[in-house]
Amino acid sequence: MHAMVISEPGGPDVLRWAEVPDPVPAAGEVVIEVTSAGVNRADLMQREGRYPPPPGSPPYPGLECSGRIAATGPGVTGWDAGDEVCALLAGGGYAERVAVPAGQVLPLPGKVGLGDAGALPEVVCTVYANVFQLARLAPGETLLVHGGSSGIGTMAIQLAKAAGARAVCTAGTAEKAARCLDLGADLAINYNEQDFAEVLGERSADVILDIIGARYLARNVSVLATGGRLVIIARQGGSRAELDLGMLQARQASIHATTLRARPPAEKAAVVAAVRENVWPLIGAGQVAPVIDRILPMTDAAEAHRIMAGSTHFGKIVLRA
Ligand SMILES: NC(=O)c1ccc[n+]([C@@H]2O[C@H](COP(=O)([O-])OP(=O)(O)OC[C@H]3O[C@@H](n4cnc5c(N)ncnc54)[C@H](OP(=O)(O)O)[C@@H]3O)[C@@H](O)[C@H]2O)c1
């Protein structure tokens, strides 16, 4: 088969569509014939050599895909060859075929076809695991999501609104901020023109889904409400910062930092099962939908990475076989 090989750490041009060994399903795994694969910012970091895949996972980029089951390994129940599915991957989605533990496979939710469903598993599982399972966003509470225009942000806004919460976000341009409002955000702050902490004021957010890290830490803590939960899922603004524990204590607040990819398959399977039960019906009803900026051929992954690095997209970039 073919897969997108990272020939050496570097820029988009190190990606090569090359012949590689076919995946063989181990016990408990299925092999998926890939139809579409979502592009995630982590794929760019992996390509640059800054985010190695967990041991035992395919070396090719791609944290989510859709496709048809081509083969099942020993002990797999509930999935058969030919089933149309999508899956949360530890890697390997930029390929013709990928092996994945059966617990990380989802049926297609109604209303989203095989060609688009590769945009769903990573963002839905990340938002659900962090905003709902960990931070327990409740109806009537306020979620602040940084990067409302990202694949993650566009899903977080929709899921927060579907859960009866208030969704506020940051975005880098007026146009992106306007599109976040169209998607349902109650407030979208252009971070290049305004300081989100000044706009929101102290103690205004119950949950924050943060992708900036160090540069926003002090401001994030200042806007946390009493009992607030700050969940950091990326460090685009650095790793080291000073934390005023007094401010955290005064707010009875907590800070978490997580990654989905590093979790063992059993933990990912638990997230996937909860997503199937709680989010899939919302997608099936059309209340929540993937926001797809554009679809490119799988072999144009380098171009997809250039677009994502330039941040001109809104929502997901999808590669199609
Ligand atoms: N820990 C985990 O498990 C996990 C899982 C999935 C994703 N992530 C992280 O989540 C983030 C989004 O991922 P993605 O694949 O959806 O990427 P993406 O679509 O490329 O989004 C990147 C976002 O960063 C925003 N951004 C850049 N500088 C900002 C700033 N100063 N303030 C606020 N926002 C800023 C961009 O906003 P503008 O374009 O408006 O500037 C853009 O929306 C990435 O950092 C990724 O690593 C973490």
Cα 285 to ligand 1 centroid, rounded to whole Å = 27
The pLDDT, as a whole number, for residue 252 is: 98
Amino acid at 19: E
Q: Please report the atom of ligand 1 found closest to the CA of residue 192.
A: 31
208: three-class secondary structure by DSSP:
strand
Kindly report the protein residue whose alpha carbon is nearest to atom 38 of ligand 1. 172
The pLDDT, as a whole number, for residue 159 is: 98
Cα 233 to ligand 1 centroid, rounded to whole Å = 9
Show Cβ contacts of residue 24 under 8 Å, excluding neighbours closer than 6 positions: 31, 73, 99
The pLDDT, as a whole number, for residue 112 is: 96
Amino acid at 234: A
Axis-axis angle for helices 151-162, 174-182 (nearest 10): 30
Ligand 1 is surrounded, with C-beta below 6 A, by 40-42, 122, 126, 146-147, 149-153, 170-172, 176, 191, 211-212, 233-234, 236, 258-260, 308, 311
Kindly report the protein residue whose alpha carbon is nearest to atom 48 of ligand 1. 233
Mutate to test the pocket of ligand 1, among 39, 41, 175 (most ligand atoms within 8 A of CB): 41
For residue 195, how many other CB atoms are within 10 A of its CB?
11
Whats the size of the chain, residue-wise? 321
Q: Using an 8 Å Cβ cutoff, are 30 and 68 in contact? A: no
The pLDDT, as a whole number, for residue 180 is: 98
Dist. CA 72–CA 80, nearest whole Å: 7
The pLDDT, as a whole number, for residue 17 is: 98
Mutate to test the pocket of ligand 1, among 122, 236, 316 (most ligand atoms within 8 A of CB): 236
User: Per the structure block, which two tokens stand in for 86?
Assistant: 């999508």
Strand ranges (E), 47-96 = 64-72, 84-88
Greatest alpha-carbon span in the chain: 58
The pLDDT, as a whole number, for residue 149 is: 98
Kindly give the confidence (pLDDT) of every residue in the chain, 321 residues in length, as a single tens digit, with 9 standing for 90 and above. 999 999 999 999 999 999 999 999 999 999 999 999 999 999 999 999 999 999 989 999 999 999 999 999 999 999 999 999 999 999 999 999 999 999 999 999 999 999 999 999 999 999 999 999 999 999 999 999 999 999 999 999 999 999 999 999 999 999 999 999 999 999 999 999 999 999 999 999 999 999 999 999 999 999 999 999 999 999 999 999 999 999 999 999 999 999 999 999 999 999 999 999 999 999 999 999 999 999 999 999 999 999 999 999 999 999 999
How is residue 116 annotated by DSSP?
A: T
pTM of this prediction exceeds 0.85: yes
The pLDDT, as a whole number, for residue 268 is: 98
Of the candidates 178, 143, 146, the one whose C-alpha atom is nearest the C-alpha of residue 160 is 143
Strands 84-88 and 292-297: unpaired
The pLDDT, as a whole number, for residue 194 is: 98
For residue 294, how many other CB atoms are within 10 A of its CB?
14
Amino acid at 52: P
Positive or negative, the CA dihedral 286, 288, 291, 292 is negative
Cα 150 to ligand 1 centroid, rounded to whole Å = 5
Dist. CA 233–CA 105, nearest whole Å: 23
The pLDDT, as a whole number, for residue 1 is: 96
Mutate to test the pocket of ligand 1, among 40, 306, 308 (most ligand atoms within 8 A of CB): 40
